[in-house]
Amino acid sequence: MQTPLLLHAERLTKRYGRRAALTDCDLRIPRGHIVGLVGPNGAGKSTLLQLACGLVRPTSGTLSVLGATPAADASHLARVGFVAQDTPVYASFSVADHLRMGSWLNPAWDPTLAERRIGEVGLDPAQKAGRLSGGQRAQLAMTIAAAKRPELLIFDEPAAALDPLARRGFMRNLVEFVRELGASAVLSSHLLDDVEQVCDYLVVLCDSRVQVAGPVPDLLAAHHRIAGHPVAPAGAEVIWAEHGRAVVRGDATTGHVEPVTLAELVLAYMSRAAGTGARPGADAAVAR
């Protein structure tokens, strides 16, 4: 039997009244990846993460996580750890209280991992969570999510509150942690550097729709930057073009062809969805 996918969405749609947060999204993401979910404000990233945790239900279409409906039962809840955007903690509880609560609520709680990590990141077990800095709160929330020993860790903009140095450390830590757990992770971020640093699978969401998704090495191999009278050969798709430069999907044989960075690839899809830059074919010719 095949191992169930990490995330499997088919025509997944979520509407809030007349507003579409996700529209007809198809995803087939295998396990073992650290998935970066990127896109502009209001693209639907948090909605997708909340659907994956079972906090909200689809309007139509289907989503399965680790082969089951999200939050279908207590055992599925235990397999997924979620760190929400504002890393909520109980202000009047100490760091140690949070760990105690974690051990009561989670059958597979790993106290050794939790205590080791609290020590590693320099948190005082006696300190009230309400007095922690944003970065320390993020570390506490990540520790609690990880000490559940989940198969999937979900982070909604995990490092948004951190200064650049703390962020770099946090993201490095996150990768080590996910690997140590033998887990997979999905994280949303506006910070393309972070995504580039830690993610090996990318999903670009714009305006409620998946624009592109796949393993990062495959996406980088499939896209090129061309400059100087770019001509994309037949079969190649111009994703974005402006001022004599273009990002194309498929082979590019004319013009000055260079590899594309992850940030350029993401920005090309975001610009296309936003309707900025020249329309494909206007600035970069497509050979027929």
Ligand X SMILES: Nc1ncnc2c1ncn2[C@@H]1O[C@H](COP(=O)(O)OP(=O)(O)OP(=O)(O)O)[C@@H](O)[C@H]1O
Applying CB under 6 A, the residues found at the interface with ligand X are 16, 19, 21, 39, 41-47
E-only strand ranges, the chain = 7-16, 19-29, 34-38, 60-65, 80-83, 152-156, 184-188, 201-206, 209-215, 223-227, 231-232, 237-242, 245-249, 256-259, 285-286
> Which CB atom, from 136 or from 208, has the smaller least distance to ligand X?
208
> Which CB atom, from 8 or from 45, has the smaller least distance to ligand X?
45
> Which CB atom, from 196 or from 242, has the smaller least distance to ligand X?
196
* Smallest gap from residue 27 Cβ to ligand X (A): 15
* Smallest gap from residue 276 Cβ to ligand X (A): 18
* Smallest gap from residue 56 Cβ to ligand X (A): 8
Sign of CA dihedral 187, 269, 19, 70: negative
> Which CB atom, from 56 or from 285, has the smaller least distance to ligand X?
56
Pairing verdict, β 34-38 and 60-65:
unpaired
* Smallest gap from residue 42 Cβ to ligand X (A): 4
> Which CB atom, from 143 or from 189, has the smaller least distance to ligand X?
189
* Smallest gap from residue 41 Cβ to ligand X (A): 3
User: CA 184, CA 175: separation in Å to the nearest integer?
Assistant: 10
Q: What is the DSSP letter of 64?
A: E
User: CA 251, CA 248: separation in Å to the nearest integer?
Assistant: 8
* Smallest gap from residue 35 Cβ to ligand X (A): 15
> Which CB atom, from 49 or from 171, has the smaller least distance to ligand X?
49
Question: Phi then psi for 223, rounded to 5 degrees?
Answer: -115, 150
Helix, strand or coil, per DSSP, at residue 164: helix
For residue 46, give both structure tokens.
Answer: 């948090």
For residue 189, give both structure tokens.
Answer: 């971020």
> For 67-94, what is the HEC assignment?
CECCCCCHHHHHCEEEECCCCCCCCCCE
